[in-house]
């Protein structure tokens, strides 16, 4: 008898729990739909109710959608700080949702944080490359933060996806026109051409036992021309001149090196990564190159006490690997720093590391 009563009580509790869960589920579903369908205050009320009734085991992506709709509703009510908070909660739950990233950018824009908004639009179009309006907003914030090349390419992508995109956005079309006017012609045609001049200093890393020259090289010149061939890849042509004296000044003029080299260069643009601050370095570009070509090694005025006679000149195979950073303080003119490692297959194989500032012009 007592066992039967206990079983009935347990059954009643189970039914009650099931009923409560069913009610909660119905409330969650209903409020979630209203949260998505309504606007303004009605949507906000429904979103808050949906979060209240949300089951603990409900998927993060579904909960993120509620925070997204809440953020949109708060934005419509001009409660932008609260909207930002809701959308930050949404992105924590579903970081690979392009719509959440886009609306987070909108909330940041409303608060005047254009640089941070630009980062979110970049993420949105990376997740969904066909997100037209995110490309357009990316163009706006790139323009507002003086990233004119990124602004131009972003607007062009938007109109490629939707040829009528500018029909209802005359202000953005005007920005696009200005971004084309600002960019150098070669950049505007997506075929960037640039020239560099770099006075450098250098140091011999390995000069062998017989090539008895000063390891520090004080008179160097490095210049080059880069032509964009595809996206971030460039063809590069460089000319290097270096001079160093013999360790014994009585031996004469020393050693001269002339090197025309050809290779490839990869440019990591500032729109290809995210950084926490809007600084000069954040607006900079980073590059890497690899080139090969003839190195003309000229030993002038060598003394008889070393194996190389006066006037020895050889044409040898050489290669160099380089890395650098550059910043365009106006669209056509920039400055940068570079470091380059040379290897030359001379009788006495040698390495030189060189580095210094650069002046760059785009055409």
Which phi and psi (to 5°) does residue 165 adopt?
-55, -45
**Statement to judge: residues 196 and 151 lie in one domain:** no
Q: Determine the pLDDT at residue 276.
A: 63
Query: Which CATH number do you get for residue 300?
Result: 2.40.160.20
Q: Determine the pLDDT at residue 146.
A: 85
Is pLDDT of 332 > 60? yes
Q: Determine the pLDDT at residue 120.
A: 94
**Statement to judge: residues 249 and 231 lie in one domain:** yes
Task: Look up residue 85 and give its two tokens.
Answer: 């908070």
Say if residues 130 and 158 touch (Cβ distance below 8 Å).
no
- Summarised one tens digit per residue, pLDDT across range 289-309 is 999 999 999 887 655 455 555
Say if residues 336 and 358 touch (Cβ distance below 8 Å).
yes
Separation CA 131–CA 311 (nearest Å): 65
**Statement to judge: residues 71 and 212 lie in one domain:** no
- In the block, tokens 């090289």 appear at 217
Q: Determine the pLDDT at residue 309.
A: 53
Separation CA 132–CA 356 (nearest Å): 42
Is pLDDT of 100 > 90? yes
**Which value, in Å, is the radius of gyration of the alpha carbons in the chain?**
32
**Statement to judge: residues 180 and 194 lie in one domain:** no
The most confident of 1-5, 204-208, 329-333, by mean pLDDT: 329-333
- In the block, tokens 């998505």 appear at 36
**Better-scored residue on pLDDT, 196 or 348:** 196
- Global confidence as pTM: 0.75
User: Which H, E and C letters describe 70-133, residue by residue?
Assistant: HHHHHHHCCCHHHHHHHHHHHHHHCCCCHHHHHHHHHHHHHCCCHHHHHHHHHHHHHHCCCCHH
> How confident is residue 287, by pLDDT bands cut at 50, 70 and 90?
very high
Query: Which CATH number do you get for residue 61?
Result: 1.25.40.10
**Statement to judge: residues 169 and 215 lie in one domain:** no
Is pLDDT of 25 > 50? no
Average pLDDT over residues 160-181: 94
Separation CA 31–CA 51 (nearest Å): 9
Average pLDDT over residues 245-274: 82
Range of the structural domain that residue 51 is part of: 2-184
Average pLDDT over residues 159-187: 91
Say if residues 186 and 193 touch (Cβ distance below 8 Å).
yes
- Summarised one tens digit per residue, pLDDT across range 47-73 is 788 777 777 777 888 888 888 988 888
Task: Look up residue 288 and give its two tokens.
Answer: 């890497």
DSSP 189: T
Average pLDDT over residues 125-135: 96
Task: Please tell me the least confidently modeled range out of 29-38, 257-266, 279-288, 310-319.
Answer: 29-38
**Statement to judge: residues 307 and 223 lie in one domain:** yes
Q: Determine the pLDDT at residue 131.
A: 97
> How confident is residue 10, by pLDDT bands cut at 50, 70 and 90?
very low
**Statement to judge: residues 16 and 87 lie in one domain:** yes
Q: Domain boundary at 152, 184, 216, which?
A: 184
Alpha helices by DSSP H, listed for the chain, are 2-37, 40-53, 60-76, 80-93, 98-110, 114-127, 132-144, 148-161, 170-182, 185-188
The strand pairing partners of 52, in sequence order, are none
**Statement to judge: residues 98 and 232 lie in one domain:** no
Separation CA 293–CA 260 (nearest Å): 6
Is pLDDT of 26 > 50? no
Give the closest residue to 43 by CA, choosing from 23, 62, 85, 71: 71
**Statement to judge: residues 242 and 311 lie in one domain:** yes
Q: Domain boundary at 163, 184, 205, which?
A: 184
Give the closest residue to 144 by CA, choosing from 114, 120, 170, 183: 114
**Statement to judge: residues 196 and 164 lie in one domain:** no
Q: Determine the pLDDT at residue 278.
A: 73
Average pLDDT over residues 239-254: 80
> How confident is residue 247, by pLDDT bands cut at 50, 70 and 90?
confident
Say if residues 121 and 101 touch (Cβ distance below 8 Å).
yes
Separation CA 80–CA 201 (nearest Å): 53
**Statement to judge: residues 245 and 333 lie in one domain:** yes
- Number of domains the chain is built from: 2
**Statement to judge: residues 154 and 292 lie in one domain:** no
Q: Determine the pLDDT at residue 165.
A: 96
Q: Determine the pLDDT at residue 147.
A: 86
Q: Domain boundary at 157, 184, 211, which?
A: 184
**Better-scored residue on pLDDT, 321 or 213:** 321
Q: Determine the pLDDT at residue 82.
A: 92
Separation CA 138–CA 150 (nearest Å): 8
């Amino acid at each position: 008898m007592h066992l039967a009563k206990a079983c009935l009580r347990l059954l009643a509790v189970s039914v009650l729990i099931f009923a409560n869960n069913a009610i909660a589920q119905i409330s969650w579903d209903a409020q979630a739909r209203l949260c998505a369908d309504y606007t303004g205050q009605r949507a906000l009320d429904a979103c808050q109710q949906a979060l209240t009734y949300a089951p603990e085991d409900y998927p993060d992506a579904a909960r993120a959608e509620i925070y997204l709709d809440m953020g949109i509703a708060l934005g419509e009510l001009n409660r932008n700080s609260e909207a930002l908070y809701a959308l930050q909660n949404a992105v924590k739950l579903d970081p690979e949702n392009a719509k959440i990233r886009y609306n987070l950018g909108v909330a940041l824009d409303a608060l005047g944080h254009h640089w941070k908004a630009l980062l979110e639009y970049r993420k949105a179009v990376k997740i969904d490359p066909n997100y037209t309006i995110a490309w357009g907003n990316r163009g706006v914030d790139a323009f507002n933060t003086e990233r004119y090349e990124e602004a131009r390419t972003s607007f062009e992508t938007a109109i490629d996806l939707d040829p009528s995109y500018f029909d209802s956005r005359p202000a953005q079309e005007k920005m696009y026109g200005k971004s084309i006017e600002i960019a150098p012609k070669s950049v505007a045609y997506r075929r960037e051409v640039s020239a560099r001049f770099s006075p450098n200093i250098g140091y011999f890393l390995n000069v062998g036992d017989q090539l008895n020259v000063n390891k520090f090289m004080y008179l160097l010149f490095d210049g080059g021309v880069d032509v964009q061939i595809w996206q971030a890849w460039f063809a590069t042509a460089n000319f290097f001149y270096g001079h160093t004296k013999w360790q014994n000044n009585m031996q004469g003029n020393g050693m001269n090196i002339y090197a025309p080299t050809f290779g490839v260069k990869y440019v990591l643009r500032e729109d290809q990564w995210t950084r926490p601050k809007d600084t000069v370095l954040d607006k900079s570009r980073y590059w890497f190159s690899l080139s090969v070509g003839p190195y003309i090694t000229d030993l002038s005025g060598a003394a008889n006490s070393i194996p190389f006679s006066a006037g020895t000149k050889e044409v040898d195979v050489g290669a160099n690997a380089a890395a650098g950073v550059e910043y365009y303080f106006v669209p056509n003119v920039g400055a940068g720093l570079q470091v380059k490692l040379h290897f030359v297959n001379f009788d006495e194989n040698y390495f030189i590391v060189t580095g210094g500032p650069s002046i760059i012009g785009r055409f």
